[in-house]
Structure 1
Amino acid sequence: MECYKIIEQIQEIINSSSKIPFSNKVVIDQAQILDLIDELLRLLPDDLKKAQRIIEERQQILIEAQKEGEMIIKEAKNHIEKMVNQEEIIKLAKEKSEQILSYAKQTAREIRAGANDYADEVLSQLEQHLEKVLETVRKGREELNQKR
């Protein structure tokens, strides 16, 4: 993500800036920092759009898993209906359909869980990123306000 690069640039500027003797403060180029913060604010909507796309992809995966499960169930039911006339075959077909149904439900649960975990991980990373950005912006504003 481009936002991380900008944050790293801001940190580098702060870390490499001249220190004020006998204090914990540094002298920074205000225009340079503000330009980077403006760029950061411009890029944030793109990162948020990426997160939204991930959420939409997760939803699509869940929908596809549900459709696949329904299709498997329908196929199993159709298979059972064709074998109604033979008792042993009916018994085997019911067992097989239950196995398929159980497998379909388990697969759907696993896909849903995987999609949820993936979306949660991405959103967690985005949240951490946004917290870092917000903290950097706050520190920058505090330093600017202290210089007034």
Structure 2
Amino acid sequence: METVVEIIDRIEGVLRRHLNRVPPGERQVIEREVIGLLQMARGALPRELHQATRLLHEAETTLARAREDARRIVLDAQAHARSLAESQEGGPPSARGSALVDEARREAERVRRGADEYAVQVLQRLEADVNRVLAAIRRGQEVLRAPGAPGKRPE
């Protein structure tokens, strides 16, 4: 699911990619007005939303990196265990090789747990930020619905 900031960025990207098809005079109007409005919309978003988006991307990146590290640890340990087993001239895998694989699996699981715990913390901060943004939106809606609100038309 895309964030509001990402959607605004995509809209701006589409406009910029297609500006070369617009006559020069109209292009300036689009750049000045439409892209200006998109930049204003981006700037009007609560600071917490920008922080939440950044935290979410950071959590996703960290989790992916930790999972890749855990996978690599297990693969390295398995390769090392195979190497030890082969060095015993076709005999059964050594206890040391099995112990290394077990140790690598434990380390990989520890890395995964750490990444998951970090992701939970980031998501909790993100949830708190989103709740603050949602509360601000609701307060703004209440103000706009109130009798005599600026810009409210008499019914």
| TM-score bin, normalised by smaller chain | 0.5 to 0.7
1:89-109 residue CA offsets vs partner (Å, 9 max, x unmatched): x57x62111111111111111
Tell me how many residue pairs correspond in the alignment: 107
Alignment of 1:102-117 (within 5 A): 102-117=102-117
Report the equivalent of 1:41: 45
Matched, 1:50 2:55: yes
Q: Does 1:73 align with 2:106?
A: no
1:69 corresponds to which letter in structure 2? V
Scaled by the length of structure 1, the TM-score of the pair is 0.62
1:24-67 per-residue CA deviation (whole Å, 9 max, x = no partner) reads: xxxxxxxxxxxxxx856164245313311221221111112111
Partners of 1:116 and 1:42 lie apart in 2 by 28
2:46–2:133: 8 Å Cα contact kept in structure 1? no
* Distance in 2, Cα, partners of 1:115 & 1:138: 34
Q: How does 1:17-36 map to 2 (within 5 A)?
A: none
Q: Which runs of 4+ in 1 moved over 4 A?
A: none
Q: Take 1:147 and 1:64, find their aligned partners in 2: how far apart are those partners? A: 58
* Rounded Cα–Cα distance in structure 2 between residues aligned with 1:46 and 1:139: 20
Percent identity over the alignment is 21
- Tell me the residue number matched to 1:5: none
1:130: Cα distance to partner? Answer: 0.7
Consecutive unaligned residues of structure 2, counting only runs of 5 or more, are 1-41, 149-155
CA distance 1:67–1:113, change in 2 (3 Å): same
Gaps of 5+ in 1: 1-37
- Give the SS at the match of 1:114: helix
Output the aligned Cα RMSD.
2.4
Question: Which residue in the other structure is 2:94 paired with?
Answer: 94
CA distance in structure 1 between the partners assigned to 2:119 and 2:44 by the alignment: 23
Q: CA deviation at 1:139?
A: 1.4
